[in-house]
Amino acid sequence: DAGVIQSPRHEVTEMGQEVTLRCKPISGHNSLFWYRQTMMRGLELLIYFNNNVPIDDSGMPEDRFSAKMPNASFSTLKIQPSEPRDSAVYFCASSLEGGLAKNIQYFGAGTRLSVL
């Protein structure tokens, strides 16, 4: 089975540009998570969805960040406008929540974003 698929793997952009990160969760999973990893702050949860509905976006740093999940197999994280301090590795993870599931989150390979 394919795991969580993220694209692009690497993104280099200039300050002020719009950046869109994409994620395809594992088929059948009903929850999707966006994380950001930096040396200074470690792994931070930005937002998560359950059944395509945003449940908790308290980790989204500011209004420049937005996330959508239009259907069960696709999500985007958009940064507009981007700033150098947004440079980080962004991970998407998915899990099956509910019932007897252990609710293990499986991560994608990450997108390394560099904002110049």
Q: Which residues bind other proteins (CB under 8 A)?
A: 31, 33, 42-43, 45, 48, 50, 55-56, 89, 91, 93, 95, 97, 102-110, 112
Could you tell me the sign of the dihedral formed by the alpha carbons of 108, 23, 46, 18, in that order?
positive
Shortest spacing between CB 88 and other proteins, in angstroms = 12
- 35 forms bridges with which residues in the sheet? 45, 91
By C-beta, is 2 or 104 nearer to other proteins? 104
Shortest spacing between CB 16 and other proteins, in angstroms = 27
By C-beta, is 25 or 108 nearer to other proteins? 108
Residue whose entry in the numeric block shows the structure tokens 């540009």: 17
- The Cα-based distances of 62 to 78, 100, 103 in angstroms read 12, 35, 28
